[in-house]
Amino acid sequence: MTGSTGDELKAALPPALQARVTALRLADGVATVVADVSGLDAIERERTEAALREALMGQPGVSEVRVAMTADKVQRRIIAVGSGKGGVGKSTLSANLAVAMSRLGRKVGLVDADIYGPSQPRLLQTEGIKPRAKDSKMFPVPSPFGFGVLSMGNLIEGDKAIAWRGPMASGALGQLIDADWGDTEILIVDLPPGTGDVQLTMLQRHKPVGAVIVSTPQDLALIDATRAMQLFNQAGVPIIGVVENMAGYMCPHCGEVSDPFGSGGAEAEAARLGEAFLGRIPLTIKIRQDSDAGQPPAAGDSPEGQAFLAIARRVLTWLDNS
């Protein structure tokens, strides 16, 4: 049988696939196709590859299909979200920043680097979903909010604690950050709380373009937050700004705001240190309940959601001007 030429094979493809093909050759029954997959995420790229294989294998004279994919290199920038101590709302802010940025049209991804107490799977409804891997590279788990997530919580069983030592923890974190993030342009990394080796290694190895510091208005948290700022300064990571979380209790019944932990402390401290203040998130029952239910407030239009969106806009303005 005389096989088709490359041009004939290309003409037989559906138009959407044809548009991606930059070269197609047929020799000895082997169809070799080069496809430009710029702008497609990891899942769409796999679909394109599978569709090309299927369409070409059905053509006369083709007994084998080899697909090579090329793409414009995406310039991916990492934003680290850190705090001096645990429990101040770092994971909540990271999840909501990612949701807000995605809503604002950015190609964003989220790495939960809190490998000892990962909470992103619950916050972003990816509990129990294992990431796929190919050639020892992991693919992010798609969240229902339009972006991918990778967390140690997706790799370990249930609530099993991981008693890893620093180097192993850093290695695991590296695999999450170096996963196949496709066309993701902004990677938000929810750091473990504190200022230890794992944090420092991450900053040195993966060079975030900037850091967001979360603090509650309390003095102690502020001292810790100051320590976190010093860590970023030492590692040469610019601080984008400070977010004050739990900055006043909003009564769900009357809407009145009272300040159990005080308010304005983080803003004053940021000003004293010459750092930008990115905004304030109130302490509300809605934030805790919605977060626990895997419904980040930034996905909706409540006042809490608006507060997260405003902070995301400020971070994006910094990013677009840096």
What string marks each residue from 239 to 258 as x (binds ligand ATP by CB under 6 A) or -? ------xx------------
> From CA 163, how far away is CA 26, in angstroms rounded?
54
Taking the least distance from each CB to ligand ATP, the nearer of 152 and 246 is: 246
Taking the least distance from each CB to ligand ATP, the nearer of 31 and 99 is: 99
For 8-74, the DSSP string reads HHHHTS-HHHHTTEEEEEEETTEEEEEEE-TT--HHHHHHHHHHHHHHHHTSTT-SEEEEEEE-PPP
Say whether 262 counts as a known binding-site residue: no
> From CA 13, how far away is CA 147, in angstroms rounded?
30
The angle formed by the CA atoms of residues 96, 111 and 319, to the nearest 5 degrees, is: 65
Taking the least distance from each CB to ligand ATP, the nearer of 201 and 245 is: 245
How many residues sit in the footprint of ligand ATP (CB under 6 A)? 20
Taking the least distance from each CB to ligand ATP, the nearer of 56 and 298 is: 298
**Does residue 203 contact residue 80 with C-beta atoms inside 8 Å?**
yes
What string marks each residue from 60 to 99 as x (binds ligand ATP by CB under 6 A) or -? -----------------------x--xxxxxxx-------
Which range binds ligand ATP by CB under 6 A, 49-57, 160-168, 232-240, 286-294?
286-294
**Does residue 90 contact residue 190 with C-beta atoms inside 8 Å?**
yes
Residue nearest to ligand ATP (CB): 86
Could you list the residues that contact ligand ATP (CB under 6 A)? 83, 86-92, 114, 117, 119, 193, 245-246, 281, 283-284, 287-288, 291
